[in-house]
Amino acid sequence: MRLRTDPFRTGLFLAAVLFFCGCAPSAIPPVEAPALVEISQNRFPEFTDDMDLDGLSAGIGQSLGYYKKLPEDRVLHFGKDEYRVSDLIRSLEFFRDFIGKRPDARALKAFIAANFRVYRSAGKDGSGRVLYTGYYEPVLEGSLHPSEKFSCPVLSLPDDLITADLSLFSDELKGKKITGRIERNRLIPYPERREIEAGAIRENAKPLAWVQDPVDLFFLQIQGSGKINLTEGGHMNVHYHASNGRPYRSIGKHLIETGKIDRKEMSMQRIRSYLTEHPEAVYEILNQNPSYVFFKTEEQGPLGCFGFPLTPGRSIALDRRIFPPAALVYITARKPVIDEEGNIQSWTEFGRFALNQDTGGAIRGPARADIFWGSGPYARIAAGHLQHDGALCFLVLRTDASKP
């Protein structure tokens, strides 16, 4: 899972770091104002795709693996319409078989028109506009042992952290949880970031590794997962495990409100440059966000909220309360064109197929989506700067579809 936060994150910034992913399979109930509305063929997008289809097939395979662990008769909602898990399995297999033939854009669009129903997200105020942001897999340098160079601990789940499911006490509190610890026989809030950085839980949370830069560690928490290259050799995949339960507050918003960064300049990269230029203010600024994330190690990474690896460029994060999980989507958005020095020269529109395989604390409602860009310089730039409107459609196979 990933912890995203808001447009000031690296896009999943966005999303408070994949806060509680909470991706236990469950039927998603319909809402009064449907998040998805079926559209007629004359309103279909072009269904062009700017990426290699091999990655799409791999991503579909991950979603199929998830669906095949669920009861086939479990109901998922596309707006007001209901489909069983078995319908979604057939949809993905049918689509994957066809793209395996490497169809051109015209053949692909005709195939979809003949065999699929298309639902468009209501977007902002029913306009269909969806704000896209991005996230990526950061790569940090670190060590298994603390030193003068590597002094920032990547903490594991504290042994005194308690998460209480309040629905056990009252039906009115269904879906509500609180996080804290026991002190003098009372459950109290868990320490906030400032207190944790000052050593408040030093005896309770074991460091998984140590990294050099507190800013890198902060953004690792925002992204929710990443890779640490170890001086001892090899690397460690770290993944979101839990948070201290404190509310996420955007340091980007704080820097804007205090006049330190102009709103028009805001990006993850601009925040980093400001903190580099003002090292004396780093901890004071980072501590404006009381939320703190604890990690666990994984064999693979990064993982989405359903427990399988994300596919760069093909996995997106949506509000799992209103959109069907792991389903096939088509997105139109914008991506940066960069030069050899890593500077953004322009933005260009693109369309591609993707899969709803993640979620985030700030990814709420039908007008928000977060694209996983992968790792590396381009992914970091795209994730840090993407804040553009686009469109979002879901595809599901018609019941009368014939074999491709």
- Domain residue spans of the chain: 3-136+304-397, 143-250+289-298
Question: What is the reported pTM?
Answer: 0.81
Please check the confidence at residue 187 and state whether its pLDDT lies above 70: yes
Q: Tell me, what's the pLDDT at 24?
A: 39
Q: Tell me, what's the pLDDT at 205?
A: 97
Task: Give Cα separations from 119 to 280, 386, 392 (angstroms).
Answer: 51, 24, 9
Please check the confidence at residue 256 and state whether its pLDDT lies above 60: yes
Which value, in Å, is the radius of gyration of the alpha carbons in the chain? 22
Q: Which residue has the higher pLDDT, 24 or 316?
A: 316
Q: Tell me, what's the pLDDT at 67?
A: 97
223's enclosing H/E stretch is helix 214-223
Task: Please state whether the peptide bond connecting residue 302 to the residue before it is cis, i.e. omega within 30 degrees of 0.
Answer: yes
Is residue 331 a contact partner of residue 284, using CB atoms and an 8 Å limit? no
Find the helix packing angle between 214-223 and 268-277, rounded to 10°.
160
Quick count: other Cβ atoms within 10 Å of Cβ 5? 31
What percentage of the chain has pLDDT greater than the value 90? 79
Please check the confidence at residue 4 and state whether its pLDDT lies above 50: no
Please check the confidence at residue 232 and state whether its pLDDT lies above 90: yes
Please check the confidence at residue 193 and state whether its pLDDT lies above 70: yes
Q: What is the mean pLDDT of residues 5-28?
A: 38
The upper half-sphere exposure of residue 385, i.e. CA atoms within 13 Å in the direction of its Cβ, equals 20
Q: Tell me, what's the pLDDT at 403?
A: 60
| Span 3-136+304-397 CATH architecture | Beta Barrel (2.40)
Instruction: Please classify residue 95 by burial: count the beta carbons closer than 10 Å to its beta carbon, then call 0-12 exposed, 13-18 middle and 19+ buried.
Output: buried
Distance of alpha carbon 252 from alpha carbon 289, whole angstroms: 10
pLDDT digits (tens, 9 = 90+) for 40-50: 999 999 999 99
Q: Tell me, what's the pLDDT at 404?
A: 55
Q: Tell me, what's the pLDDT at 15?
A: 36
Please check the confidence at residue 243 and state whether its pLDDT lies above 80: yes
Q: What is the mean pLDDT of residues 110-128?
A: 96
Distance of alpha carbon 80 from alpha carbon 126, whole angstroms: 15
What's the full length of the chain, in residues? 404
Q: Tell me, what's the pLDDT at 402?
A: 60
β-pair type (225-230, 139-143): parallel
Q: Tell me, what's the pLDDT at 32?
A: 56
Please check the confidence at residue 3 and state whether its pLDDT lies above 70: no
Give the model's confidence band at 175: pLDDT under 50 very low, under 70 low, under 90 confident, else very high. confident
pLDDT digits (tens, 9 = 90+) for 78-95: 999 999 999 999 999 999
Q: Domain 143-250+289-298: which CATH class?
A: mainly beta
Beta pairing partners, 37? 120
Q: Which residue has the higher pLDDT, 72 or 132?
A: 132
The chain-wide mean pLDDT, for the chain, equals 90
Maximum Cα interatomic distance, the chain, rounded to a whole number of Å: 69
